[in-house]
Amino acid sequence: MLSKLSGSLAKGRGVATTTRLTLAAHRAYSAAAVDSANGTSSSGSVHGAFHRALNATAPRTDWTRDEIASIYNTPLIDLTHASGTLHRRFHSPGAVQMCTLMNIKTGGCSEDCSYCAQSSRYQTGLKATKLSTVDSVLAAARVARDNGSTRFCMGAAWRDMRGRKSSLRNIKAMVEGVHALGLESCVTLGMLDEAQAKELKDAGLTAYNHNVDTSREHYPKVISTRSYDERLQTISNVRDAGIKVCTGGILGLGEKPEDHVGLLHTVATMPSHPESFPVNTLVPIEGTPLFKSTRIAFDAVLRTIATARLVMPTAIIRIAAGRVDMSEEKQVLCFMAGANAVFTGEKMLTTACSGWEEDLAMFKRWGLYPMKAHVEPVLRKTEELFQVDTSLLANVPTGAHDGTSATV
Ligand code: SF4
């Protein structure tokens, strides 16, 4: 269920990044930049893919895996410059959404996701709970809103929603209440059928999170109790119900760089791109099979975010689990490369989370500001790309933050 941002998600480990930085890729970037300046195209080759990504005016869903690999393997300095440039075409570069994720039903899950603290198969010391009450969830949502979050996500550690009629009734009441607070609502409840998706849509749900986690090839090494295709079916049910899709991955599950390409290829070739792409890094939980995984290298995280921005220009890219271990400077590199949302609050499911005050202080230092709810990407004209609207910074609360106390 919480394939997603699950507790076990987590902290970096895994891939020793040995990305190949080729001279050909560097030439591809240079050629794309020259073509861009000349208004010409060089499609049909590796550098054609990079060119088309850099100059996109609309999302495309017919990426080949080789094309995405060629982008992913571009020298990082060029890759992040290109992704940051494209980011400005569709998004306000200073806007970062603060989202808060609440665990509304902890632990006791029957699945075997090998990163997850909430699986009943592993001895992690986590105490299983029942579904939270509607009132307690709405009280938490109010706190999140009052602190600046504009999206409230609710996660339950279930495999699926079969036989959970009364729980679904309560969750619908939570969704309606969150909506009434002016927040975007997102839930992650495991596998969902078409009728359940329709019920949640009717309750006003903004988005449903169901991560694919990793590439199709690496997936069986991480989870055996449900298939990659079952995950895709739930995502399809969500999309067909008219709910926005939130699906992403976890880096550091022992995968290789080509699995990051595979993950990106899966989501970027869906019939339409997910509106939300969370990037988690493994937070190793003692007692789970992946506890001793090798920590993921930051350049692999940055490369994944930058490539995601280039192949899915309109998605909101969320730095999710594991951010708490990232320095402020690393987070800002992610924002510059195209990430535009964070999870903020007291906790992120079962793992630690950066708090609102800390994030608002960081925003202030770097000229970022909290994104409003329900902001849609908009294609901007070239002459507008680097215009700065300082009035937006007025949204940044001042309060106790004087912008001088970087404590990361
Ligand atoms: S074990 Fe259960 S709660 Fe944990 S990620 Fe898997 S499905 Fe979600």
Listing DSSP states for 333-397 in one string gives: HHHHHT--EEE-SSEETTEE---HHHHHHHHHHHT-EEPPTT----PPPGGGTT---GGGGGGS-
Enter the DSSP assignment of 288.
Answer: S
Q: Where are the beta strands (DSSP E) in 237-353?
A: 244-246, 249-251, 276-281, 316-319, 341-343, 347-348, 351-352
Please tell me the predicted confidence (pLDDT) of residue 350. Answer: 66
* Cα(307) to centroid(ligand 1), Å: 27
* Cα(115) to centroid(ligand 1), Å: 9
pLDDT bucket at 404, cuts 50 / 70 / 90: very low
Whether residue 184 is predicted with pLDDT greater than 60 in this model: the reply is yes
Q: Regarding the domain delimited by 93-374, which CATH topology (the fold level of the hierarchy) does it fall under?
A: TIM Barrel (3.20.20)
- Segment 276-313, tens digit of pLDDT: 999 999 999 999 999 999 999 999 999 999 999 999 99
Supply the pTM of this predicted model. 0.87
* Cα(111) to centroid(ligand 1), Å: 6
Whether residue 132 is predicted with pLDDT greater than 80 in this model: the reply is yes
Whether residue 46 is predicted with pLDDT greater than 90 in this model: the reply is no
* Cα(398) to centroid(ligand 1), Å: 38
Whether residue 252 is predicted with pLDDT greater than 50 in this model: the reply is yes
- Please give the number of the atom of ligand 1 that sits closest to the Cα of 112: 1
Whether residue 90 is predicted with pLDDT greater than 90 in this model: the reply is yes
Question: Domain locations in the chain?
Answer: 23-89, 93-374
* Cα(318) to centroid(ligand 1), Å: 20
- Please give the number of the atom of ligand 1 that sits closest to the Cα of 107: 3
Choice from 4, 5, 8, 230 to test ligand 1 binding pocket (greatest atom count within 8 A of CB):
8
Whether residue 216 is predicted with pLDDT greater than 80 in this model: the reply is yes
pLDDT bucket at 16, cuts 50 / 70 / 90: very low
Please tell me the predicted confidence (pLDDT) of residue 75. Answer: 94
Please tell me the predicted confidence (pLDDT) of residue 26. Answer: 52
pLDDT bucket at 352, cuts 50 / 70 / 90: confident
Q: Which residues line ligand 1 (CB under 6 A)?
A: 1-3, 6, 8, 109, 111, 113, 116, 118-119, 157, 159, 190
Residue bearing the CA closest to ligand 1, atom 8: 2
- Please give the number of the atom of ligand 1 that sits closest to the Cα of 121: 1
Please tell me the predicted confidence (pLDDT) of residue 73. Answer: 96
Cβ burial 10-43 (10 Å sphere, 16+ → b, else e)? bbbbbbebebeeeeebeebbebbbebeeeeeebe
Whether residue 32 is predicted with pLDDT greater than 90 in this model: the reply is no
Mean pLDDT of 66-81: 96
Residue bearing the CA closest to ligand 1, atom 3: 157
Residue type, position 368, single letter: L
Whether residue 227 is predicted with pLDDT greater than 90 in this model: the reply is yes
Among 191-195, 203-207, 335-339, 398-402, name the one with the lowest average pLDDT. 398-402
Whether residue 408 is predicted with pLDDT greater than 70 in this model: the reply is no
- Please give the number of the atom of ligand 1 that sits closest to the Cα of 223: 6
Mean pLDDT of 70-98: 95
- Segment 304-349, tens digit of pLDDT: 999 999 999 999 999 999 998 999 999 999 999 999 999 998 766 6
Whether residue 23 is predicted with pLDDT greater than 50 in this model: the reply is no
24 versus 84: the higher-pLDDT residue is 84
Please tell me the predicted confidence (pLDDT) of residue 31. Answer: 52
Mean pLDDT estimate for the chain: 86
How many residues does this entry show for the chain? 408
Mean pLDDT of 114-136: 93
Whether residue 36 is predicted with pLDDT greater than 80 in this model: the reply is no
Please tell me the predicted confidence (pLDDT) of residue 383. Answer: 73
- Picking from 275, 259, 258, 260, the residue whose alpha carbon sits closest to that of residue 312 is 275
The pair of structure tokens assigned to 68 is 């995405």
381 versus 83: the higher-pLDDT residue is 83
Whether residue 223 is predicted with pLDDT greater than 50 in this model: the reply is yes
Mean pLDDT of 246-271: 98
Backbone angle region of 126, left / alpha / beta, with phi > 0 → left and psi within -120 to 50 → alpha: beta
What CA–CA distance (Å, rounded) separates 211 from 171? 20
Enter the DSSP assignment of 312.
Answer: S
